[in-house]
Amino acid sequence: MTSEPVRVGDAVWPGTNAYVQWFVPVDPRPVSVLFVHGGGGQGSDFVTTPDCRPGWVHRFLRSGYATYVLDRPGHGRSAWNDNVLGPAVPASNYHALYPRFVEPAQHRLWPEASKHTRWPSDPLAGDRFMASQGPMAVTLAASQLHVEAVAAQLFELTGPTIIVSHSMGGPCGWALAAIGGDQVEAVIAVEPLGYPRMVHPLGTFNNGMVTTEYRGRHDPFARPIALVTGEATWMREANSRAADYLRVKAPTFEHFLLEEHDITGNGHMLMGESNSDEIADIMIRWLDRVLARDLR
């Protein structure tokens, strides 16, 4: 998917573009699932775990959902081009990410970090995770604008869909829902970044769950919404504030604090941790309930 080519001087490049991979079962449900990755990650975060198990894509696929995996513009299989997307924050290094994703219990940068036990035991899992991390936009507003530019073509592919977003993909998910309108049946925000008036190095959340105005004309919260938070993540307080906001905005809302469902020890990278299938199953059961209710 790409917007109009961009000309700078005598050079012409493809416009804002994104890569989408999809998997469709033999007899799919009438609604698909769209996965929106976070930060400097990529769509492959949902396809395979860092210890090489099938990821959430395959769990949803086995439950009958066609799954669409987005590499946001400038991420994964959609290469970053400063001339089109603007400047980028360089890819993070081991020192920045290991204490937050791979080894929280060793570094204890936040109170719940000591509970982290779910990073895969495969000794190469951390290296594989780091290899997947690339650059990202210098502002959250730019990241939002990038996905908004490809949204119309994206929804042509997915048809009626459920957005499953993660971390910095959370604001992008809300922006997509504002464009998709009735095509977006539900949103599952997995440890989404942001809450109203949150100050972040890449922007202040001056527009509820995003930092800037939406290009879409629809209410992004006018559908069932679930928020998922791990026991050992640094996102717990921020997610609690987001839940307070979403509980008022959404017609149906549920905040899954995983330890309350006997799923313990999880950090921020829920789709890649050792019990990722259990977490996917909670989300699938919730969708079965809310979508069946909406169809009655």
CATH number at residue 74: 3.40.50.1820
Of 170, 145, 161, 225, nearest in space to 41 by CA: 170
pLDDT of residue 295: 47
The pLDDT confidence band at residue 293, using thresholds 50, 70 and 90, is low
**Predicted pLDDT at 292:** 82
Has residue 1 been placed in a domain? no
Q: Is residue 67 part of a domain?
A: yes
Rounded Cα gap, residues 34 and 294, in angstroms: 19
Confidence of residue 294 (pLDDT cuts 50, 70, 90): low
Distance between CA 206 and CA 285 in Å, rounded? 33
Task: List the one residue out of 240, 285, 282 whose CA is nearest residue 263.
Answer: 282
- Span between the terminal Cα atoms of the chain, in Å: 35
The stretch 228-254 carries a mean pLDDT of 98
Q: Which domain covers residue 288, as residue numbers?
A: 6-295
Q: Quick one: pLDDT at residue 5?
A: 86
Among candidate residues 240, 229, 211, the one with its CA nearest the CA of residue 269: 229
* Predicted model pTM: 0.96
12 found inside a domain: yes
- Confidence (pLDDT) at 7: 87
